[in-house]
Structure 1
Amino acid sequence: MIGQLLARQIQRYASSSSSRRITARLQEQRYVEVTRPDGQQHKYPSIWLRDNCQCSECFHAATRARKSHWERGPLHVRAERVRFDEKRQQLIVNWEDAHNSSYDLDWLQQRDFSVEARQRYLNEVYKPPAQLWGKSQFGDVTHHFEYHDVLKQDAVLLDWLQALAVQGFALLHGAPHDEQVVRHLAERIGYIKRTTYGDVFDVKSKPNAGNYAYLMTPLPLHTDMPYYEYKAGINILHTLAQSESPGGANLMTDGFYVANTMRRDYPDYYELLRSVPVNWFDIGHDGDAGKPFHSLWRAPVISLDADGQFARINQNTTKRDSRFTVPLEQALAWYEAYDKFLQVAQAEAVEFKTRPGDVFVFNNLRMLHGRTAYEDSPQNKRHLVGAYVDWDIIYSKLRTLKFPDAKD
């Protein structure tokens, strides 16, 4: 009787102790399942675990690089045994080829395959989700920064880049009367993007203008350089001198908001704008001494990324080629969709006028921007200085600011 009672107590203790432990087990040789004391489960493909073995034979820690020992991959290497080491807080996997792997619990949790974990990584590390906005929300989404704070304070730089990533634009104030302001801002982020118009360019009326923006006429809503496969990420525009005429005001529309409106309210038109490739081109030279160029890229007005999110808006009436290399009937339908897109974009456009010392910065993959007509005088000539930076560089800087101690 005493022996039976003792046996039951030992069994209950063992069961209670086991319930407080992390366990691991193989599922059909395809997955490894890790179960936490609270019942939460994390499942990992066996092939993924072998592909990401963290031992020194498989992983070069100094360069954070996988060492490849397979000609075709680890597809047929099976796990024989798995267990969780409570003391080291590691998952241990013994493979059929006598290789052994260990994975820290924290490392595994950061790479969990659950919907929530994957979305958290995409939003917090990959790219902050865009906040779409229409004309009525413009005041609420506008962020203002002091130029010198952005240059000197990493916390302000982070906030500025976050605003560019989320709302798509920001306004800086207090910049000096210096044509190198845009270069300083670009280099504060990382690297300037050089184009056929140079690395730093002037936006002002010019004789023998090589670009429509260098005229005093109205500049319709557009994105810069849709004719580039690797289109500039952000546009930095510093106002050195503003027109004293009633014109010269900035126009801007959130292109992603317009695309979303088209998808919701005009799905047939949206599908045409998402799928029909348009020829965008730029032929000429920049100034009398500039080298000739002939840029050409085919892409739809609305481009999506691998996750089906809005990635790039291509729209520039002045740079849309007369060659339209699509079937005849598709061209007719596309024009109807394009007309509706422009109608929505113009209805949602905001207007504001920068002053000398202001720097207007916006996402060139997303924001449609333009300008009202203006008139120069001998005493007053509107003059902006611009530069570009690619989003690869911006996102990299944003992550180093957000995660300065990141190991992998």
Structure 2
Amino acid sequence: MFKKLIGQRAFSTSFSWFLKASIEGNGKVVSVNEGSKDPLKFPGIWLRDNCQCEVCYSENAQSRRIDYSDFSFKVKAENVEITDKVLNVNWSDNHKSAYHIDWLTDRSFTKEKQEQYLNEFYRPPYQTWGKSKFKDVVKYFEFDEVIRDDKVLKEWIETLSTYGIALIRNTPKDKTVARTLANRIGFIRQTTYGEEYVVQAKPNATNQAYLSAKLQWHIDLPYYEYAPGVNLLHFYEQTKTKGGSNIIVDGFNIAERIKNQHPEDYQVLCEVVVDWNDITVEQDIPYHNIWRAPVINLDADGNCTRINFSIPQRDSHFNVDVDKVIRWYEAFGKFVNMVKEETMLFKVNEGDILTFSNVRLLHGREAYDDSDANVRYVVGAYMDWDIIYSKWRVLKNQLANRH
């Protein structure tokens, strides 16, 4: 009962130095290992909320099923004791709970333990990079190994998450390669452009990506509230001319630089809401997408989670106070200048898959000559980070259990 699994991870660490427990704060806090230099303290309300008995917790679903219609937020611990590495608690609501010490230790409120868990199982911490470091961070993976070897698949996901970019080479001559890769992880994210989409020059294009002209920096679909997290671009055919090189910039690096060098401009780019839109027709279906968000998006800890950037998709409607407009352009101008400085050009080889974080890397393409004898044919597909990170955690647990 007490060897709990989180995901597929089991804890069996020995902590024989846990001797006893005590109640503090009039029953509101339970202290484990009283008398040690650094006892672990657990809020009583949290312990009661996470009772592991069959009434309060579903082992099969690995989720809480405590009945909150009859839950007291004023519950207090009345008696505690440790027996055979198990903390037993009697509560003021006449309920009894038992927690294995290993389970408690793994969930302790120490900063060290919390950071360890987040780094190991939330997502790999990202590392920013500039133009000069591009050759050091970009890594190649073999297609067959990613498809067949779980360890290689895990390494590819970690590289993609950490640096925002990774390349997969030696793919079969097949237009379904992007789908095969997506299915290896989970499934394709469908958008306005369907599931798989083809990027090639064509007449009367409704999207600038479908021209042979230069495609400047952007993220795809900034006008989506939930923009696709990852782009898979399979270069089925590559232009033989000098044009058509890919444009790549680490947007998180730009955000970091402007934060350090121009903190007031950084604040403007994090706070002023911009309108992003797309009015188009795809496969005879009309679309009008709008999303409003700043250029730099942060999580609750102040870390970058998304960069919004696309000159064509930035709406002429700017729904902010008029006195903020000029100030925003000043800050945005500094952002753009840094993007110019850090722009990296490289040409993906025919048959390779360029995989990158769509919400992090600003990307584009140089102009190229398009003719029947010089074709550039790219098959793309999107995936969501949620599905990729889920696969990563499953792989971590499975690989750990094999050893």
Do they superpose with TM above 0.5?
yes
What secondary structure, in the 3-state scheme, does the structure 1 residue paired with 2:88 have? Answer: strand
What is aligned with 2:276? 280
- Please say if residues 281 and 295 of structure 1, whose CA atoms lie closer than 8 Å, have aligned partners that are also in contact: yes
Residue in structure 2 matching 1:68, options 66, 72, 82: 66
Residue in structure 1 matching 2:203, options 201, 207, 211: 207
Amino acid at match of 1:187: N
Residue in structure 1 matching 2:240, options 244, 254, 271: 244
Amino acid at match of 1:387: A
Deviation string, structure 1 residues 106-127 (Cα, Å, up to 9, x no partner): 1101101011111111111111
- Please say if residues 51 and 74 of structure 1, whose CA atoms lie closer than 8 Å, have aligned partners that are also in contact: no
Residues 103 and 343 from structure 1, CA distance in 2 versus in 1: closer, same or farther, beyond 3 angstroms?
Answer: same
Q: In the TM superposition, what are the counterparts of 1:23-38 in structure 2 within 5 Å?
A: 23-28=20-25, 29-35=27-33
Shift of 1:71: 2.4
- Please say if residues 20 and 37 of structure 1, whose CA atoms lie closer than 8 Å, have aligned partners that are also in contact: no
What is aligned with 2:8? none
- TM-score (structure 1 length as normaliser): 0.92
Q: Which aligned segments of 4 or more residues in structure 1 are displaced greater than 3 angstroms?
A: 36-40
**Residue identity (%):** 45
Shift of 1:30: 1.5
Deviation string, structure 1 residues 149-180 (Cα, Å, up to 9, x no partner): 11111111000000111111101110122110
Residues 330 and 379 from structure 1, CA distance in 2 versus in 1: closer, same or farther, beyond 3 angstroms?
Answer: same
What secondary structure, in the 3-state scheme, does the structure 2 residue paired with 1:68 have? Answer: coil
Deviation string, structure 1 residues 208-237 (Cα, Å, up to 9, x no partner): 212111111111111111100010010000
Residues 222 and 98 from structure 1, CA distance in 2 versus in 1: closer, same or farther, beyond 3 angstroms?
Answer: same
> What is the distance in 2 between the residues matched to 1:79 and 1:91?
12
Shift of 1:39: 3.8
Amino acid at match of 1:80: E
- Please say if residues 54 and 102 of structure 1, whose CA atoms lie closer than 8 Å, have aligned partners that are also in contact: yes
Residue in structure 2 matching 1:227, options 223, 228, 240: 223
What is aligned with 1:8? none
What secondary structure, in the 3-state scheme, does the structure 2 residue paired with 1:404 have? Answer: helix
Q: Is residue 2:287 matched to residue 1:290?
A: no
What secondary structure, in the 3-state scheme, does the structure 1 residue paired with 2:277 have? Answer: strand
Q: Which runs of 5+ in 2 are unaligned?
A: 1-15
Residue in structure 1 matching 2:43, options 25, 42, 45: 45
- TM-score (structure 2 length as normaliser): 0.93
Q: In the TM superposition, what are the counterparts of 1:94-105 in structure 2 within 5 Å?
A: 94-105=90-101
Size of the aligned set, in residue pairs, is 385
> What is the distance in 2 between the residues matched to 1:21 and 1:220?
60
Residues 214 and 76 from structure 1, CA distance in 2 versus in 1: closer, same or farther, beyond 3 angstroms?
Answer: same
- Please say if residues 215 and 367 of structure 2, whose CA atoms lie closer than 8 Å, have aligned partners that are also in contact: yes
Deviation string, structure 1 residues 5-40 (Cα, Å, up to 9, x no partner): xxxxxxxxxxxxxx9651100111221111178644
> What is the distance in 2 between the residues matched to 1:375 and 1:348?
26
> What is the distance in 2 between the residues matched to 1:57 and 1:198?
45
What is aligned with 2:326? 332
Residue in structure 2 matching 1:360, options 337, 354, 357: 354
What secondary structure, in the 3-state scheme, does the structure 2 residue paired with 1:318 have? Answer: coil
Q: Which has the larger radius of gyration?
A: 1
Q: Is residue 2:125 matched to residue 1:129?
A: yes
> What is the distance in 1 between the residues matched to 2:36 and 2:93?
34
> What is the distance in 2 between the residues matched to 1:99 and 1:132?
50
Shift of 1:406: 9.1
Residues 82 and 148 from structure 1, CA distance in 2 versus in 1: closer, same or farther, beyond 3 angstroms?
Answer: same
Deviation string, structure 1 residues 79-101 (Cα, Å, up to 9, x no partner): 1011111x2x1111011222110
Deviation string, structure 1 residues 21-78 (Cα, Å, up to 9, x no partner): 5110011122111117864421100000000000111111111121232327431111
Residue in structure 1 matching 2:113, options 111, 117, 126: 117
